[in-house]
Copies of this chain bind each other. A is one copy, B any other.
Amino acid sequence: MTELDTTLETAPTRYIESRTIRFAYRRLGPAPGTPLVLLQHFSGNIDAWDPAVVNALAADRPVIAFDNAGVGRSSGQTPDNVEAMARDAVDFINALGLSEVDLLGFSLGGCVAQQIASEYGRLVRKLILVGTAPKGGEEHLLAVLQQAFSQTDVPDPRLPLFFTASDASQSSGLAFLKRTKVRKDDRDTDNGNAVTDPQAKALISWCATSDPDHGILRAIRQPVLVVSGSHDTMLPADNAYAMFKQLSNAQLALYPDSGHGALFQHHALFVNQVRAFLDARAMAA
């Protein structure tokens, strides 16, 4: 397992089978260290991650990007709830034989990451939650998604959804999209309605279902880094601040002039903060 020279654009897609699912994944970076497992956003596949983020994080730790059940080139059905997505992701982690991982969950992936950390606590060392919301956090999401996908005059829905209207943000959005298209061979499969319909239902249910006394956030005892863009229209930064306040051991990082894709726009800043967070020996307990 020496994949030191591989990148998201060049690493071979591998497959591993759990009892019920054949998962597609890519593993980057050196073998030693706690693996960082990436949990992807609504409608995204492995190639929707930003190589500028993933490759930089893989410079000194193993990083694993994968398709959860039904997504991309993984087999199975995409479930319509976060709890089942969390079970599937844990199946994947177990199938790889990993006993402890760090999780980076973006958007819907951040909901799945919260569920895993609260329900399968011993599996998770540290947690990074980006552009996401607590259970019961947001309810206007469906309207935002419908509006965004109805904008047929934009080249990619991620430009208006992930970036602000400023020149600087749109320009970094185009640069991000360009980076995601470098890989030509062995690209992941785009997702259709069989994936996005249940995912949308899962995300909306998560946001609309109350979690009395913040049971999920309160159950998370791991160190958490919470990240959001200043002008995230899908899951606004208020959600990040609310999560920070309920978590027992969290850092909050909010970025300027940025939307849902703040981690891609400010990739150097984000990578620097994630590395410092993951490398820190001890956080205040």
Identical copies in the complex: 2
Interface size class of A (residues with CB under 8 A): 20 to 34
Alpha-carbon separation in the docked complex, A245 to B257 (Å): 10
On whether A168 and B284 interact (CB within 8 A), knowing A251-B255, A252-B253, A253-B251, the answer reads yes
Q: Are A284 and B272 in contact (CB-based, < 8 A)?
A: no
Q: Are B251 and A244 in contact (CB-based, < 8 A)?
A: no
Shortest distance in angstroms between A57's beta carbon and chain B's nearest beta carbon? 16
Q: Are B255 and A166 in contact (CB-based, < 8 A)?
A: no
A143 at the interface (CB under 8 A from B): no
Task: List residues of chain B with CB within 8 A of the CB of A253.
Answer: 251-253
Interface string of A262-273 (1 = CB under 8 A from B): 000110110011
Q: Are A284 and B251 in contact (CB-based, < 8 A)?
A: no
A280 at the interface (CB under 8 A from B): yes
Interface centre among A172, A258, A273 (most CB of B within 10 A): A273
User: Can you give 10 contacting A-B residue pairs, CB < 8 Å?
Assistant: A167-B285, A168-B284, A169-B284, A223-B256, A241-B241, A248-B256, A249-B256, A250-B256, A251-B254, A269-B276
